[in-house]
Structure 1
Amino acid sequence: MPAYNDMVKSFSPNEVKLMLGLAKGTTVIGNRVASNSGCEKRFRSLVALVDAKTVPTAAKALHAKWLPKP
């Protein structure tokens, strides 16, 4: 797990945009995140690893949406 977390932390802006885009719509990931609370929680924890400075402007709203709920 630590290696995967480090990988997510080092995502480029394009990779961040792709990651966030996968969770919307009718993709396999989108469906799983929408229908399984455990998947949603894990996805939110991955989004929290992303450095906010690497989030492209076009994806800032999606990033904010997927940050862990307080």
Structure 2
Amino acid sequence: MSTKGWSVWQITLALYPFGAGAMALNIYFGSLIVSWFGAPVITPGIAVLLGLPLGLPATWLFAKHIKRLMTS
């Protein structure tokens, strides 16, 4: 396997803003769905704050997938 190109962490850092944004949207829309069962809807700001830390592992997993595609 070649080690040329970007590392997984470089890909993760480049894609992190998109991953954190996607996680924030998933959290917010998930709270809308859960509100059908009586739970409160969280604010978009809270969803962003929750999406920031959750975006890192999600983006890292996606970056591993992208790196595997690039090296195969």
Short-chain TM bin: under 0.3
Q: Which has the larger radius of gyration?
A: 2
Q: TM-score, normalised by structure 1?
A: 0.26
Q: TM-score, normalised by structure 2?
A: 0.26
More helix per residue: 2
